[in-house]
Structure 1
Amino acid sequence: MGTTLTALVQDNEVELEQLQDRIGYRFRDLQLLQLSLVHSSFAFERLDDSRHNETLEFLGDAVLDLIVGFILFVRFPELREGKLTRIRSALVNEGGLTERAREIDLGSYLLLGKGESASSGRDKPSILSGTYEALVGAIFLDGGYDAAQVFVRRFFEPYLNDSQERLVSIDAKSELQELLQERYSTGPEYVLVGEEGPAHARLFSVAVRFQDEELGTGTASSKKEAEQQAARTALKQLRQRFSQP
């Protein structure tokens, strides 16, 4: 027999209090907070109604794009749309959201199925970033836009003190795409060239190719970060090539 969301809130009362202290927001409906922490693997194994956080993740993704986009619009009024988009992507991509999730130790509060828990799911970038989006979605539903904006500003604005150039360069994939589109009217291709290591510590190797030429490679614990690394290598190579007479 499974359990219910109401029972989970009661069972995890102490943990939910701790997390609210960490994020600086008090929920009126603790079931929303709890639901944001329920991974699909746990829901299918333990919950009677199999509800999990993926719909909250969908909502949180949209809320983050809106709020971070508005912050950047006000903060950098002189920047054009392309640069604003790249900075936003750098802040809310999988890598950026994983860092924000780790800042509040979000993985400790996750409810995972046995398989995900055994394979270090609490530290997987894809799960952490998705849960962070779900948390933002839960705050939005519980307290509205203003509450979500306060939360996002608290955890994202410190990173806007970095230079515009550094913020833009974090999202190397978008920068590479724009560079190649501008010069050749077509973009690069990312190819998975290798996987190694046990399931809980998998490493992915990705190559970025353009017109049958390999421009760079990257290796990381997620395919998305490996693609970013490959794009950074490609950008360095292309800048050197384009600067030559």
Structure 2
Amino acid sequence: MTILAPETLQWLADTGFAVEDDELWLEALTHGSTGAERDYQRLEFLGDRVLGLAISDHLFRKVGGSEGALAQRLNALVSKGACAKIGRRIGLSDHLVLGKQAREDGAAQSTNILGDVVEALLGANYLDAGFGPTCALVHLLWDEDLNGMAGRSKHPKSALQEWAAGNQRRPPQYELVDRSGPDHAAIFTVRVEVHKVGAAEATASSKQEAETEAAKKFMEQFG
């Protein structure tokens, strides 16, 4: 017996998903507010890794630049906001399985929920079809963003701010840890930290430049 609505099955097929196990896909679309025994969270965990590898694969093969530049683009393309953008583009909101109160509260338009469920769908596709087809689907769904400006030439401090938000971390904290030299040739050392992730330091001839360099070093190390 089909456990997904026929229109949802058709939508999944039209979008490019390979639906074999109906229960798996119902799980991917189900929010915890329903009280169901299984919701999308475990599949989201898997899909997040699949997405990261699929985007990394494209960037490595198709895009030049340093490791830091690739990491900056990757972080922009796999962020919660980027995933939610894909969810809205494919019409995901109409097919979410939500509890009555959650739907009334606007959960179907929530960036966090849409982003999470997109990752869960990729996790389900990986289990049903394998990595190759899922990687190709990611490249198709993300084509506009892969060929757009997402993550390109972004200021390091902005990139770090987005990375922290996309990974559900506290905003980065900047601290001036040292100032030396005469006023006309002062040297500033700044430390930037993201709670429970790590920290990086940089030195420059102005506080602003030191913050920028510290953010860049942080992204190269932890991004």
Q: What TM-score comes out, normalization by structure 1 length?
A: 0.64
1:198-213 aligned within 5 A: none
In structure 2, runs of 5+ residues without a counterpart are 164-171, 176-187, 196-210, 213-223
Offset at residue 11 of structure 1 (A): 5.3
- Does structure 2 conserve the Cα–Cα contact (< 8 Å) formed by 1:90 and 1:168? no
The amino acid that maps onto 1:169 is K
Choose between structure 1 and 2 for higher RCO, CA contacts under 8 A separated by at least 6 residues: 2
Matches within 5 A, 1:43-122: 44=35, 47=36, 50-76=37-63, 78-122=64-108
- Alignment CA distance shift 1:71-1:122 (3 Å): same
Between 55-64 and 107-116, report the one with greater CA deviation.
Answer: 107-116
| 2:160 is the alignment partner of 1:167 | no
Aligned length, in residue pairs: 177
The change in CA–CA distance for 1:163 and 1:51 in structure 2 (over 3 A counts) is closer
**2:13 pairs with 9, 15, 20, which one?**
20
Report the AA paired with residue 73 of structure 1: F
Distance 2:189 2:161 in 1: 14
> What residue ranges of structure 1 are gaps of 5+ in the alignment?
1-5, 191-233, 236-245
Tell me by how many angstroms 1:107 deviates. Answer: 1.1
Residue pair 2:30, 2:39 contacting (<8 A) in 1 also: yes
In structure 2, relative to structure 1, the CA distance for the partners of 1:154 and 1:103 (3 Å cut) is: same
One-letter identity of the residue aligned with 1:20: A
* Aligned alpha-carbon RMSD (Å): 3.1
Q: Which runs of 4+ in 1 moved over 4 A?
A: 175-178
1:169–1:175 contact (8 Å) kept in structure 2:
no
- 1:12 is displaced (CA, Å) by 1.2
Say if 1:57 and 1:160 are closer, same or farther in 2 by CA, change over 3 A. Answer: same
Q: Distance in 1 between matches of 2:155 and 2:39?
A: 31
Specify whether residues 141 and 169 from structure 1 end up closer, same or farther in structure 2 by C-alpha distance, changes over 3 A only.
Answer: same
In 2: Cα distance, 1:141 partner to 1:156 partner:
20
Tell me if the contact between 2:72 and 2:159 (Cα under 8 Å) persists in the aligned partners: no
Structure 2 CA distance for partners of 1:74 and 1:173, relative to 1, 3 Å:
same
Aligned partner of 2:25 among 18, 33, 38: 33
